[in-house]
């Protein structure tokens, strides 16, 4: 199951000294099927909980790159990522009112609601995500870890 593999990969990367930042990207992240399954399907509940717990407890910064739609339940796990980069063509539903009404908002609106960290042009999305991950990797690991612990406390 892909969720088991993703969780195992995150744990592996978190243990690697050479890995300073984890970058997750994928076409269609949160477009419905993947995160509806993740959060709403009661089968393999332990696997889903393990994935969410792993995301929440990673010791390294994790950057999520989204270039497609982020709808419904997908919006609810955005806070588990330390940084979220969205292309200016990405659209998402935000806040509980927007989740219930299914109103779509732009990347800029989502940024103003602090659901995402940065917005970039869709044409240079992957390049921007990789450059930002490299930039984050240069930050002091100890400082970032202390900051994350304090934020979560």
Q: What is the pLDDT of residues 62-77, one digit of tens each?
A: 988 887 766 666 677 7
CA 142/CA 120 separation, integer angstroms: 28
Give the model's pLDDT for residue 19: 92
C-alpha of 15 from chain center: 19
Q: Which two tokens mark 100?
A: 């219930």
Domain ranges of the chain: 20-152
Q: Write down the pTM of the prediction.
A: 0.65
Q: Which two tokens mark 111?
A: 């940024």
Per the model's pLDDT, the better-predicted residue between 110 and 151 turns out to be 110
C-alpha of 139 from chain center: 19
CATH 3.40.50.720 fits 20-152, yes or no: no
Determine which helix (DSSP H) or strand (DSSP E) holds 133, and give its type and residue range.
helix 125-137
**For 91-110, what is the mean pLDDT?**
62
Give the model's pLDDT for residue 64: 85
């Amino acid at each position: 199951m892909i969720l088991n593999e993703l969780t195992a990969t995150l744990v592996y990367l978190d243990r690697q000294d050479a890995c300073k930042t984890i970058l997750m990207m994928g076409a269609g992240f949160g477009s419905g099927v993947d995160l509806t399954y993740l959060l709403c399907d009661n089968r393999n509940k332990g696997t889903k909980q393990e994935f969410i717990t792993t995301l929440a407890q990673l010791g390294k910064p994790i950057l999520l790159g989204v270039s497609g739609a982020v709808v419904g339940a997908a919006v609810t796990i955005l806070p588990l990522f330390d940084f979220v980069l969205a292309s200016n063509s990405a659209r998402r539903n935000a806040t509980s009112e927007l989740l219930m009404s299914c109103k779509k908002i732009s990347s800029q609106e989502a940024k103003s609601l602090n659901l995402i960290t940065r917005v970039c042009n869709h044409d240079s999305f992957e390049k921007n995500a990789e450059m930002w991950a490299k930039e984050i990797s240069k930050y002091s690991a100890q400082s970032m870890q202390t900051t994350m612990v304090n934020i979560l406390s």
